Amino acid sequence: MRAEYIGVGDLARLGDFASFDWLESDLESEWHRPPPYDAHAEAALAEFALGLDALIVCHGSPRITGSLLSMTPRLRLVGELEGDRLARRIDVAACSARGVVAVDTTQGSSYPVSEWALALMMIGLRDAGALYRRIINHEDVPSGDTRPDLPFYRRGELEGKTVSMLGCGHIGRRLIEYLRPFKTPILVHDPYIPIETADAIGFELVGWEAAFALADVVVCLLPLTPATRHRIGWAELDLIRPDCVFVNVSRGAVVDSDALIERCREGDISVCLDVFDPDTIPIDSEIRDLPNVFISPHIAGNTRASRTRFFELMVDEIDRLRKGYEPRFQLSDRTLANRAGDPPPPRG
């Protein structure tokens, strides 16, 4: 785990301004539930953390609870290295009550995911998946074809297309930066976004249905929560206009797979998926055979650089704390509500 997540250069950078130590912990951990309580492991971690200013936890660590924090009064920052997507490895309320900053670096993978989202948008607009299927099937595909009835000819360029984002966290905001050279109007549906953010970053907030109906490209960036499971069904997919593109780089279960297959059968939109439900896609799933569907096997966030970026960003956070700056990636009420699928706090 250490070799996978921690780059030698970042470790040296941390050593330039801080002393550090390691504690190995191998509690049973799962992605979507808190680690089981283990009094011995908690006591060992509390003893280890006594006298520390910052504590970084990862897969296999005990949960950071109020009782543990009460035994480590010097702590100023607790960081989740792996990306505590459902905020379960850290008791954020307990941290807040004790003035301890809780951060995570989930956004470490936002770089490659947003890059791949941009690539899928272009693949969809140019109908590249369907063309590639025909080429590898040894069909006659004329070069330089400009017949006006061809999907890639009609859809054309990304330049100036209206792009809609369902959710606008770290991936969405980075994708907006990548889209700026293309001069694309950007629509966002995200009830957890403060209204001031739209003006600061440069997009329009829209309602749920409008996000599907008004765009040339719809990009799903929703986290999977109890509230978003199968949130996108036939009613939403039917709002996508002919010759538009639907991209999903978030989680497959956000979309009702049966409804998605039914919508794809109509053949008038292009669908580009990095994720599907179930994940991995069954060998006999119809989604594999539909010519207007391009699929990648959940690879958007999987790069060598993204694995070590979690720790790289965490070192940045500790350095900010040392300098008296506010850490950038604090777990807020809005963040926690979004990840839990709870209603968002009122917009200020």
Domains with residue ranges and CATH for the chain: 2-104+304-340 (3.40.50.720), 109-295 (3.40.50.720)
What's the mean pLDDT in 199-211? 97
Band (84; pLDDT cuts 50, 70, 90): very low
Residue 249's nearest CA partner among 197, 184, 295 is 295
Q: Which of 185, 181, 178, 190 is nearest to 162 (CA)?
A: 185
DSSP letters for 258-276: HHHHHHHHT-SSEEEES--
Pairing of strands 270-273, 54-57: unpaired
Does residue 77 register a pLDDT over 70? yes
150-182: pLDDT as tens digits: 778 788 899 999 999 999 999 999 999 999 999
Helix (H, G, I), strand (E, B) or coil at 1: coil
332: Cβ contacts below 8 Å, ≥ 6 apart: none
- The kind and range of the H/E element at 102 are strand 101-104
Is the model's pLDDT at 220 over the cut of 60? yes
Q: How many residues does the chain have?
A: 348
Query: How confident is the model over 229-250, as pLDDT tens digits?
Result: 999 999 999 999 999 999 999 9
Can you read off the two tokens belonging to residue 213? 């109906």
DSSP states of 207-257: -HHHHHHS-SEEEE-----TTTTT-B-HHHHTTSPTT-EEEE-S-GGGB-H
pLDDT score for 69? 96
DSSP state at residue 303: -
Answer whether 0.75 is exceeded by the pTM. yes
